[in-house]
Structure 1
Amino acid sequence: MVGIRKVAIVVSALLTTSFSSQAMMKNYSASIEQSSWSLTKSTPTACILEHNIPRYGLANFSSVANKNINLDFELAMRLKPAQRTEVELRSIAPSWRGSMPSRHITDIAYFKQFNGELEDDKAWMMLGELEKGMHPTFFYQDWYNQRDTVAVAVSAVNFAPQHELFMDCVANLLPYSFEDISFTTLNYKKNSQELDRRSQNKLKMIQDFLKHEPEMELVVIDSYTDSYGGRYNNEMLSQKRAEQMKKVLEEVGIAGNKITVNGYGEKRHIASNQKIQGRDANRRVVITMNRGY
């Protein structure tokens, strides 16, 4: 492991914030025997890589399905910050690398009663230091004794195998997020319960996502028709389309009691029924989903 006590004392002299020569250093890190990394979630919608820091809490990197490659780091502390705290993150070499100097990564702030977080570029930088076998270490003044310094090290021991699996997971994330599908309008072919081609593709996106994230607080399916075919028949058709869509969502794991369906028939047009394009737009089902967390 880092030999954290010896290393941290040397590093403390390099910090931009000066500490009293009388200050004590509280060190939190996993020993070589304790250090482990686990890929706790690996699906096309989310990847989570976790590391336990004894007596302190849990460190994790996460990436979620999105149009953009993304990465977040969270330091989930057993004891949350008692106040806003300035923190420096440094990359520390393990003891077996000799006198290799430490390197400043970034400055961040912990906020009262919140976990520590890094996003995007800073999280990627930290991940890169672990990949090189370094030990990213957070330094800050103790919340309850300003004369003491706290050092929290994230160990690179046993990191490499799980890191490779994590990056494989990230490479296979879906290229869209829940927000991209949580409000979706699908359109039907004329006099049919069959979706047009564009809407079939959008429905497949929804199905692929929900196979892995089916937990919903509420799903509302609102179905509408154009004004051709008779008011009563259109209301029945819209209800049938809504019920059909409910079955599709149940098949990918959404609980039926979480789904509300409404068939509005000819009501609430969004375009003129005098033109083909307007009627095409009015023949629609709108799916609204809320995860609630």
Structure 2
Amino acid sequence: MRFWLLFFVLCFSFRYAGAVTFRASIDDSQWEMESSQFICRLQQEIPSYGVAAFEHQAGEAVHFTLTPTQRQQVEGQAKLVAEASPWQPGIDPQLLGVVRAVPGTGVIEVPAELAKNMLAALYRGMTPTFNTDQWYGTPELLKVGISAANFQSAYIDYLNCISGLLPVNYRQVARTAVLFPSGQTALSDATRERLALIATYVKADNSVQTIYVDGHSDNLGRRLLNRDLSKKRAEDVARYLIQQGVPEERIVTRYHGERYPVVPNTSAENRARNRRVTIRLEREEAPVR
């Protein structure tokens, strides 16, 4: 099986030997690093073609994007192969996978597992290369390579960056609902863990201006008692956020009793979903993180 895979890759490489090729030379190969608690971005400019970038957002896995300066350079699928760099004679190419360009843009997005394989190949000094026979919609063969020159030192900076990422990003904490047993207000261990993550993010992102904490109940029992129950739940959540370091002046606490169920109170399962406190973050307009 390994023999036939190697045979296929070698034949594939010979086919693309005369293709139009874009790749930074050893002298021109530069890696730029953007670092913050929210995102780590490691990118390389490919002369006359575009930008290759690894992005690792807080709370998510790394992914890779190849963005051309001109649209529609690539349509359809491309084979991703780890090829030997100029200083690695005799090393066989390795097929990593097949990817597709986003229709109408020429942008190739590589999912997490393949992106990790690309990083590993670069660290070994190999050149991840996208191969396609649809350059500008013509039968012209195209190769776009990511140079491994100067990568290892940049990779150390990348590792340092991801070690300092927050455990979550804004999208993951902007809307949260925590649930309560019937008639109870105590915070469960799972709720405390979730609130601690929210607090960690809010303390790091100064653009978060307001945290809305809304208490709710199901429809069992008297309406006034349900309103008081929802009030106590919201207050306990807000108090815990404050204990975790969230500025009190940013928190707006509200309570609604049984007035706004997310599902009809027609079953035990539905009532369990309605016994909740929702936490909603609102922030100033800011660049996407």
Q: Same fold (TM over 0.5)?
A: yes
Indicate conservation of the 8 Å contact 2:24/2:147, yes or no. yes
Aligned to 1:4: none
Distance 2:166 2:277 in 1: 24
1:180-219 alignment, distance < 5 Å: 181=173, 182-185=175-178, 199-213=191-205
Amino acid at match of 2:118: M
TM-score, length basis structure 1: 0.66
Q: How many residues align?
A: 262
Distance 2:88 2:13 in 1: 24
Q: 1:243 to 1:129 in 2, by over 3 A?
A: closer
Aligned to 2:255: 263
User: Does 2:214 align with 1:222?
Assistant: yes
Q: 1:286 to 1:62 in 2, by over 3 A?
A: same
Amino acid at match of 1:263: Y
Aligned to 1:157: 149
Aligned match of 1:15 in 12, 32, 35?
A: 12
User: Does 2:44 align with 1:55?
Assistant: no
Aligned to 2:67: 76
Aligned match of 2:81 in 90, 96, 99?
A: 90
Aligned to 1:134: 126
Give the superposition deviation at 1:123: 1.4
Structure 1: segments with no counterpart, 5+ residues: 1-11, 273-280
After superposition, what is the alpha-carbon deviation per residue over 1:260-290, rounded to whole angstroms, capped at 9, x for unaligned? 76432575689x9xxxxxxxx9996421347
Corresponding residue SS for 2:195: helix
Task: Tell me how large the CA RMSD over aligned residues is.
Answer: 4.8
Corresponding residue SS for 1:91: strand
Distance 1:80 1:218 in 2: 40
After superposition, what is the alpha-carbon deviation per residue over 1:174-196, rounded to whole angstroms, capped at 9, x for unaligned? 55565653313277xx9x9x977
User: Does 2:119 align with 1:112?
Assistant: no
Distance 2:15 2:125 in 1: 28
Q: 1:47 to 1:145 in 2, by over 3 A?
A: closer
Distance 1:215 1:76 in 2: 29
Distance 2:77 2:259 in 1: 57
Distance 1:90 1:236 in 2: 57
Amino acid at match of 2:147: S
Distance 2:67 2:14 in 1: 24
Q: Percent identity?
A: 23
TM-score, length basis structure 2: 0.66
1:270-285 alignment, distance < 5 Å: 285=277
Give the superposition deviation at 1:87: 0.8
Indicate conservation of the 8 Å contact 2:127/2:148, yes or no. yes
Instruction: Return 212-221 or 137-146, whichever deviates more.
Output: 212-221
After superposition, what is the alpha-carbon deviation per residue over 1:233-262, rounded to whole angstroms, capped at 9, x for unaligned? 9499679949967x96xx869x96xx8764
User: Does 2:18 align with 1:27?
Assistant: no
